[in-house]
Amino acid sequence: MDLETLLSYPWGIMAPEFTILIVATLLSIMDLFMKDKVNRNVLGWFAIGGVVLALIFLIGQFGAPVQMILYDTYRLDSFSVAFKLILLIGTLFVLLLGLDYGKKEIKYRGEFFYLLLTALLGGMIMASSADMITLFVGLELLSLSSYVMAGLRKNNLQSNEAAFKYVVNGGVATAITLFGMSYVYGLTGYTNLFDISDALQNPVVLENGFLLAFAFFLVFVGLAFKVAAVPFHMWSPDVYQGAPTPVTAFLSVVSKTAGFALILRFLLVVFGGAHGIQPLQPLLLDTQIYIAVVAGLTMIVGNVMALRQTNVKRLFAYSSVAQAGYLLVPFATLSIVMFENVWFYLVAYLFMNLGAFAVLQLVTTQSGTEDLRGFAGLGQRSPLMAVGMGVFLVSLAGIPVTAGFMGKFYIFIGALSTGHFILASVMIATSVVSYFYYFGIMTQMFFRKAPTTEAMRVPIGASIVIVIAVIATIGLGIVPQLAIDFFNTNFDFSQIFMRV
């Protein structure tokens, strides 16, 4: 590629990514030359400033036409902008939590801040990629950064175990994903998603429908590891328990959002128009039953296993597995409001889950235990924080007048409208099961005696996250149309299929 071609690209479409890259690079250099005794929170505030600046650039891209650069491997469209918005806001909240996390837990705090940004950058690349190579680069950048962050509590055996298990399972998932992609490349001869989609109409490819279905299966299995869908979820409880709490929050929301963005982009653009094993049957309809089974099992196993947990981080790991099951339902139903439902639920999940993790971090840090008993008497010690946690738990359980309820309701209606009555029934049944463990935490907060009457200290970072999350969780539950109107006004998800 010559210089003239490089300069001809509209590099402004990558302004948010360049901002995160530059800030992460500067943070790593600053951390290298800072003395050991200097408080690393200054790096955290610098990272927060970088994410806010990237958000400003991203907001400026709302309503922009579809653009592609680097030989159509990287694109700006409504799909990428919508998911980057969730990724940036989620990372901003995690950074605020990271400011308050104990110095004794993470000795090398500078690493946390710039590794978090590189993981974010990987997720943003995944959201904008239009080529299997750039998709894989983004996926690995996110994954490798996450592996290191999971083991940042270097003197903690659980953290060491978490990092090891995450690396091993992540490596297996990567290998399976690459194997599936190699079949796609072998059948079509292309790595660009739109070229692959066109090539799948070739009669020679149509004669190999079984191989294409096998490739779909492999890619989906590999990506199911990333979003912790059953039966590929076994790494998540140990990783969530062993990783530092801000990292656990990042994995549960931001990493999962990037995973679903990749699944949407890859499966719909590549396989959306592909023929199945029977030439007259679309491949996505052939595979509906498989995705439906995975979604159903993920909801059932996640919620049932959460009932047995006494460690609150493991409980939220299985809760996160269950939430992945709810998010997989639109993929199985393929309703006309699929994009809208997935995006809205991810936004709701962002606020209710990160708000819950903010309270969880405060309680586990100040009580010195990750056991459910650490929440005992929180309603007496810190009534406002207990009420906030109650709002998040009610929303996660899917009880009316919360964002979580509206998100599940939209997905439920989408399942009913396409005739998937069994999946809709599983959604209702598993949501009822979740009441038991979510309300178990509320029982501890409001009906158990506090071991001490001393009020809990709430740092500024956690306070900001909790207040914003409570307002958004209740607001989106009462007036969900605000988010829907925002979505319809600023994003046109049909652009995902536009080549330019």
Question: What local confidence, expressed as pLDDT, does residue 37 receive?
Answer: 75
Task: Give the tokens for residue 165.
Answer: 């298990």
User: What is the Cα–Cα distance from 472 to 480, expressed in whole angstroms?
Assistant: 10
Q: Is residue 105 part of a domain?
A: no
More confident residue, 1 or 429: 429
Is a pLDDT exceeding 70 seen at residue 1? no
Position 108 confidence tier, pLDDT thresholds 50, 70, 90: low
| Phi, psi at 157, each rounded to 5° | -65, -35
User: What is the Cα–Cα distance from 142 to 456, expressed in whole angstroms?
Assistant: 34
Q: What percent of the chain has a predicted confidence (pLDDT) above 90?
A: 46
For range 293-314, the mean pLDDT: 92
For range 339-345, the mean pLDDT: 90
| Phi, psi at 325, each rounded to 5° | -65, -45
Task: Give the tokens for residue 116.
Answer: 């978090």
Task: Report CA-CA distances (Å) from 8 to 4, 71, 75, 305, 444.
Answer: 6, 12, 15, 54, 61
Task: Give the tokens for residue 282.
Answer: 């679309």
Is a pLDDT exceeding 70 seen at residue 279? no
Q: Is residue 272 part of a domain?
A: no
| Phi, psi at 221, each rounded to 5° | -60, -45
User: What is the Cα–Cα distance from 500 to 491, expressed in whole angstroms?
Assistant: 16
Q: Is residue 434 part of a domain?
A: yes
Task: Give the tokens for residue 487.
Answer: 């979505």
Q: Is residue 30 part of a domain?
A: no
User: What is the Cα–Cα distance from 89 to 473, expressed in whole angstroms?
Assistant: 15
**What HEC string does 86-149 produce?**
HHHHHHHHHHHHHHHCCCCCCCCHHHHHHHHHHHHHHHHHHHHECEHHHHHHHHHHHHHHHHHH
Range of the domain at 402: 293-500
Position 106 confidence tier, pLDDT thresholds 50, 70, 90: low
User: What is the Cα–Cα distance from 141 to 14, expressed in whole angstroms?
Assistant: 17
Question: pLDDT per residue over 35-72, tens digit each?
Answer: 777 777 888 899 999 999 999 999 998 888 888 888 88
In which element (H, E) is residue 67 found? strand 67-69
Task: Give the tokens for residue 500.
Answer: 């330019």
Is a pLDDT exceeding 80 seen at residue 151? yes
Q: Is residue 121 part of a domain?
A: no
Is a pLDDT exceeding 90 seen at residue 471? yes
Q: Is residue 380 part of a domain?
A: yes
Question: What local confidence, expressed as pLDDT, does residue 417 receive?
Answer: 87
In 3D space, the residue among 63, 83, 66 whose CA is nearest the CA of residue 75 turns out to be 66
Beta bridge partners of 76: 67
Residue 377 CA to its chain's centroid (Å): 32
Contact 132, 185 (CB under 8 A): yes
Average pLDDT of the chain, as a whole number: 88
User: Domain total for the chain?
Assistant: 1
Peptide bond into 330 cis (omega under 30): no
Task: Give the tokens for residue 391.
Answer: 């709002």
Question: What local confidence, expressed as pLDDT, does residue 375 receive?
Answer: 87
User: What is the Cα–Cα distance from 372 to 327, expressed in whole angstroms?
Assistant: 27
In sequence order, which ranges of 307-420 are alpha helices (DSSP H)? 312-333, 338-367, 378-381, 383-397, 403-417
Position 282 confidence tier, pLDDT thresholds 50, 70, 90: confident
In which element (H, E) is residue 225 found? helix 209-226
Q: Is residue 47 part of a domain?
A: no
Contact 325, 233 (CB under 8 A): no
Q: Is residue 304 part of a domain?
A: yes
Question: pLDDT per residue over 215-258, tens digit each?
Answer: 888 999 988 988 889 888 888 999 999 888 899 999 999 999 99
User: What is the Cα–Cα distance from 377 to 390, expressed in whole angstroms?
Assistant: 13
225-228: which pairs have CB atoms within 8 A and are 24 or more residues apart?
225/169, 225/170, 225/172, 225/173, 225/176, 226/139, 226/143, 226/173, 226/255, 226/256, 226/259, 226/262, 227/256, 227/259, 227/260, 227/263, 227/324, 227/327, 227/328, 228/256, 228/317, 228/320, 228/321, 228/324
Number of other residues whose CB lies within 10 A of the CB of residue 261: 27
